[in-house]
Structure 1
Amino acid sequence: MVSMEAAVVTGILKVVGNKLAPLVIKEYRSVVGVKKDLQELQNLAMEINSWLEAQGDRAEGNWLKKLKDVTYDVDDVLDEFQLEAEKKDANADGGAMSRFRTKPKSFLLQCMAAWKIKDIKKRFAEIVNQRTDINEIKNNIPDAHPARHTTVELLPLPNVDASSVIGRDREKHQIISKLVESKHQQKIKIVSIIGLGGFGKTTLAKLVFNDGNIIAKDFEVRLWVHVSQEFAVQKLVEKLFEAFAENKSDHHRLPHMSKRISEKLSEKRFLLVLDDVWTEDRIQWEELMAFLNGIAPGPGSTILLTTRSREVAVTVGSTDHFDLPLLSPNDSWQLFQQSIIMPATGWNFQFEEVGNQIVKKCGGLPLAIKVLACALTGKERIEEWTAMRDNSLLDAVGEENRLFACLKLSYFHLPSHLKPCFTICSLFPKGYMIDKERLIDQWIAHDMIGVEDGVDYFEYTAHKYFNSLIQRSFLQDVDENSYGRVKYRMHDLVHDLAQSILGDKISLVVPKEASSSTRSYRYFSLTKQTIHLLPKSLFQKARALYADKCEVDCKIFGMALKNARHLRSVTMDYVDKELV
Structure 2
Amino acid sequence: MLMHPTNGIGEDIPVLPIVGIAGLGKTALAKLVFNDDRIDEHFQLKIWSPHTRSNRVATITGTLPAYNLKSLPFEESLSLFLNLAFKKGNEKQHLNLVKIGEEIVKKCEGVPLALRTLASQLCFKTAEDEWKKLRDDEIWEFEQKGKGILPALRLSYDQLPSYLKQCFASCSVFPKDYNIANIQLVSFWVALGLLKSSRENEVLENVGKQYLRELQERSFFQDFQETPFVIRFKMHDLLHDFALWLAKDECSMLKSSSRYLSKTIRHMSIVDPKILEGGAPSGLLDNAGHVRTLFFQHMENSNSVIYQKICLKVSSATCARFM
TM-score range, shorter chain: 0.7 to 0.9
Give the CA RMSD over aligned residues: 2.9
Choose the corresponding residue for 2:24, options 195, 199, 224.
199
Larger radius of gyration: 1
Is the 8 Å Cα contact of residues 362 and 368 (structure 1) preserved in structure 2?
yes
Is the 8 Å Cα contact of residues 199 and 324 (structure 1) preserved in structure 2?
yes
Which amino acid is 1:270 matched to? L
Is the 8 Å Cα contact of residues 291 and 314 (structure 2) preserved in structure 1?
no
Q: Kindly indicate which of the two structures has a greater share of residues assigned to helix.
A: 1
Pair 1:364–1:570, CA change in 2 (3 A): same
Residues 1:523 and 2:267 are matched in the alignment = yes
Shift of 1:207: 2.4
Which amino acid is 1:312 matched to? V
Residues 1:429 and 2:178 are matched in the alignment = no
Q: Show the counterpart of 1:179.
A: 2
Q: Show the counterpart of 1:188.
A: 13
Shift of 1:383: 0.5
Is the 8 Å Cα contact of residues 343 and 378 (structure 1) preserved in structure 2?
no
Q: Show the counterpart of 1:322.
A: 67
Superposed CA offset, 1:6-48 (max 9, x none): xxxxxxxxxxxxxxxxxxxxxxxxxxxxxxxxxxxxxxxxxxx
Structure 2: unaligned runs, 5 residues or longer: none
Matching of residues 250-329 of structure 1 within 5 Å: 269-274=44-49, 276-278=50-52, 308-329=53-74
Matching of residues 440-451 of structure 1 within 5 Å: 440-451=186-197
Which amino acid is 1:564 matched to? A
Superposed CA offset, 1:390-424 (max 9, x none): 01112344561521121111111111111111111
- For 1:510 and 1:325, how far apart are their aligned partners in 2? 33
Choose the corresponding residue for 1:362, options 108, 111, 131.
108
- For 2:178 and 2:129, how far apart are their aligned partners in 1? 39
Q: Show the counterpart of 1:479.
A: 225
Superposed CA offset, 1:38-93 (max 9, x none): xxxxxxxxxxxxxxxxxxxxxxxxxxxxxxxxxxxxxxxxxxxxxxxxxxxxxxxx
Is the 8 Å Cα contact of residues 395 and 402 (structure 1) preserved in structure 2?
no
- For 1:361 and 1:340, how far apart are their aligned partners in 2? 16
Pair 1:484–1:209, CA change in 2 (3 A): farther
Pair 1:392–1:535, CA change in 2 (3 A): closer
Superposed CA offset, 1:344-374 (max 9, x none): 9754321111111011100111000000111
Q: Show the counterpart of 1:244.
A: none
- For 1:401 and 1:504, how far apart are their aligned partners in 2? 26
Which SS does the other structure have where 1:320 is aligned? coil
Is the 8 Å Cα contact of residues 537 and 563 (structure 1) preserved in structure 2?
no
Is the 8 Å Cα contact of residues 509 and 525 (structure 1) preserved in structure 2?
yes
- For 1:354 and 1:387, how far apart are their aligned partners in 2? 10
Pair 1:459–1:558, CA change in 2 (3 A): closer
Residues 1:378 and 2:124 are matched in the alignment = yes
Which SS does the other structure have where 2:15 is aligned? strand
Is the 8 Å Cα contact of residues 31 and 48 (structure 2) preserved in structure 1?
no
Which SS does the other structure have where 1:327 is aligned? coil
- For 2:159 and 2:128, how far apart are their aligned partners in 1? 15
Superposed CA offset, 1:415-441 (max 9, x none): 111111111111111121122211111
Pair 1:315–1:309, CA change in 2 (3 A): same
Q: Show the counterpart of 1:57.
A: none
Which SS does the other structure have where 1:450 is aligned? coil
Residues 1:496 and 2:248 are matched in the alignment = no
Is the 8 Å Cα contact of residues 394 and 405 (structure 1) preserved in structure 2?
yes
Q: Show the counterpart of 1:542.
A: 291
Which amino acid is 2:114 matched to? A
Q: Show the counterpart of 1:337.
A: 82
Q: Show the counterpart of 2:322.
A: 570
Shift of 1:203: 1.6
Is the 8 Å Cα contact of residues 223 and 233 (structure 2) preserved in structure 1?
yes
Q: Show the counterpart of 2:310.
A: 557
Pair 1:536–1:396, CA change in 2 (3 A): closer
Which amino acid is 2:204 matched to? F
Pair 1:542–1:566, CA change in 2 (3 A): farther
Which amino acid is 2:322 matched to? V
Shift of 1:559: 4.2
Pair 1:311–1:459, CA change in 2 (3 A): same
Superposed CA offset, 1:238-265 (max 9, x none): xxxxxxxxxxxxxxxxxxxxxxxxxxxx
How many residue pairs were aligned?
Answer: 309
Which SS does the other structure have where 1:503 is aligned? coil
> Percent of counterpart pairs with the same letter?
30
Shift of 1:461: 1.9
Which amino acid is 1:218 matched to? H
Which SS does the other structure have where 1:474 is aligned? coil
Question: Scaled by the length of structure 2, what TM-score is found?
Answer: 0.85
Pair 1:271–1:387, CA change in 2 (3 A): same
Is the 8 Å Cα contact of residues 418 and 465 (structure 1) preserved in structure 2?
yes
Shift of 1:566: 4.3
Higher RCO (CA-CA < 8 Å; seq separation 6+): 1
Which SS does the other structure have where 2:169 is aligned? helix
- For 2:269 and 2:192, how far apart are their aligned partners in 1? 16
Shift of 1:485: 2.6
Question: Scaled by the length of structure 1, what TM-score is found?
Answer: 0.49
- For 2:295 and 2:178, how far apart are their aligned partners in 1? 12
Which SS does the other structure have where 1:205 is aligned? helix
Pair 1:430–1:441, CA change in 2 (3 A): same
Choose the corresponding residue for 2:39, options 187, 212, 215.
215
Q: Show the counterpart of 2:208.
A: 462
Superposed CA offset, 1:201-227 (max 9, x none): 112222222334x334434xxxxxxxx
Which SS does the other structure have where 2:212 is aligned? helix
Shift of 1:187: 3.1
